[in-house]
Amino acid sequence: MRSTKAINAVERLKTRSGNPHYAAVSMPGGYFYLIERSAEGSSKLCDPLPMDDFIAFVNAREPAKPRKVSKLDQAMEAQIGRSGKRADKPTPDERD
């Protein structure tokens, strides 16, 4: 069974949210649902979903981590911004 994708999605959710109590439950037919374990018991967070829908649900559950941006990426974005502003300025022939 190809449940590795679903399990990895839940592991990413645990990392993003900081909550280690999330778990995926596999059902026959390739369906999964998400639970959150607590001292009182487990609470079911979604209905059984096919793997692709389950992964989409889990990925949308918590916001993604912001991407790290390197100094080179920032410099390139600044350069693109500067070149775009220059293109908006009229050339000497267009001013007349």
pLDDT in tens, 19-38: 899 999 999 988 999 999 98
Q: What is the pTM of this model?
A: 0.62
pLDDT at 39 over 80: yes
Alpha carbons 62 and 64: distance in angstroms, whole number: 6
**Domain limits of the chain?**
4-61
What does the pLDDT read at residue 32?
Answer: 94
Output the six-digit token pair for 65.
């981590």
Percent of the chain with pLDDT strictly greater than 90: 31
